[in-house]
Structure 1
């Protein structure tokens, strides 16, 4: 009879993040010795790292740090929400974030190639975690912003999961609180660009074509088409351009107007949502 209890299974799962069946097999092989079972899971996990490379990572978290006019935002992904909310995965993501801040990484590849203080690369660190936890784990995206003021905001979409949406905002002038309010707005309304100048001409032209074709299909008068098309293209800008979006706390004002009244200027932003 196996020399372990349900509590041992639970403890080993929480420690390693490995699946139920893998934990039970390891404990069977180790005759209930949790330390030996942990080693077995690690060895078997390392053998499976390559096999897991093609798996889909649609869960995970975003984490961020902003101080001294510099902000870093990192998205770390895994396969299941069980792992995403585990202490081991959350601690790993925090270690990855701290490394990104320490080396000033500006993209995921640079971060993965960077060496931790013990000489191990972040890529090697993730491979080890991949092996122990038994899931594919990856740093998907990284953003870094600099400015006179940079704030971060993390939002939980579910109370039992870590943050799924993360935002950085860089501003110049005004109180820090207005930057924080804008960060919360970005989390909720997901703008894609700061100003309409950042929308490429081909996208704008396509919106015009669609707006005109739709208006004609609706039977609108030919003479009214230019005004209708312009109105719908402006509607597209209001939906996607941060400074033109109606502000979350006061829809009668645009985000740009709120910043202007606060004596602030938005210099840039980044927004990540897990898996999107």
Structure 2
């Protein structure tokens, strides 16, 4: 039986992030062979992944990068606890996943999971790391944004955690500072579309029905309903359409006005918030 030193246990724990007892037991089982112990720990963790399949993943981080080919990628990598989310190993995993997804040009989670990550796929990489970290980890969302230029804003809701809100804005124009400010605005205001013209007709019609019914129930005169409904639809568009929104840094200005003054056109955007 090999002599298992504390130094060996420490080395393996730092490499994998596993617990003291599990690490020592794996080294004993492997008769001191470091690589065999890694294999044992991964196998043990992989069996645990199946048991964790139904657990919720409400923590994690967002990450983004420009891809250098007229696109930028935004991902949300989720885990079970904030303890894991803020750990170096989880953050490093997110960097690897982001690089692999961006290199593949994936625009959906399925495409991203199938993308190569070294000798593995992204799905296999995540599975291996989940086995080591002892939590369910999943690539929850992926967005591929197109544009001539990009503004990326990653917001920390807590100084102890990695970014929890991420925004990528694709745009044309040269005012990078204003573009970044628009990305910050999106992180706060959470628009769903660039303009009101992009809102699907069925969504608009459903909202029209709702505000019409509300107005009638409030006893508004039937003759006045069309004007009242249009006013309330305008308020709805301010909630969901970026260009209609009041600018977060100066609510006397619309986002449309800010962009126009800066010579910018938003061509696409994506916003993710962890767990939302």
TM-score computed with the length of structure 1 as normaliser? 0.87
Equivalent pairs, count? 265
Q: Structure 1 residue 189 and structure 2 residue 193: aligned?
A: no
CA distance in 2, matches of 1:78, 1:176: 33
Q: SS in structure 1 opposite 2:223?
A: helix
Q: Match for residue 126 of structure 2?
A: 126
Q: Which residue number in structure 2 is paired with residue 112 of structure 1?
A: 113
**Correspondence for 2:243:** 243
Determine the C-alpha separation between the residues in 2 that align with 1:138 and 1:214: 41
For structure 2, which runs of at least 5 residues remain unmatched after alignment?
none
Any stretches of 5+ residues in structure 1 without a counterpart?
none
Q: Which residue of 2 aligns with 1:263?
A: 263
Deviations 1:24-57 (A, max 9, x none): 5425636999x69766543321112222222211
The residue matched to 2:272 in structure 1 has which SS?
strand
8 Å CA contact 2:114, 2:122 repeated in 1: yes
Q: How far 1:103 sits from its partner (Å)?
A: 2.2
Q: Which stretch has the larger CA shift, 55-64 or 218-227?
A: 218-227
Does the 8 Å contact 1:45/1:130 carry over to 2? yes
Alpha-carbon separation, structure 2, partners of 1:143 and 1:31:
41
Distance 1:146 1:27, change over 3 A: closer
Q: Over aligned residue pairs, what C-alpha RMSD do you find?
A: 2.5
Between the aligned partners of 1:231 and 1:246, the Cα distance in structure 2 is 16
- Tell me, in whole angstroms, the C-alpha distance in 1 between the residues paired with 2:66 and 2:121: 24
SS of residue matched to 2:84 = helix
Which runs of 4 or more aligned residues in structure 1 lie more than 4 Å from their structure 2 counterparts after TM superposition? 14-18, 30-33, 35-40
Shift of 1:151: 1.6
1:53 and 2:42 matched: no
Paired with 2:262 and 2:17, the residues of 1 have a C-alpha distance of 47
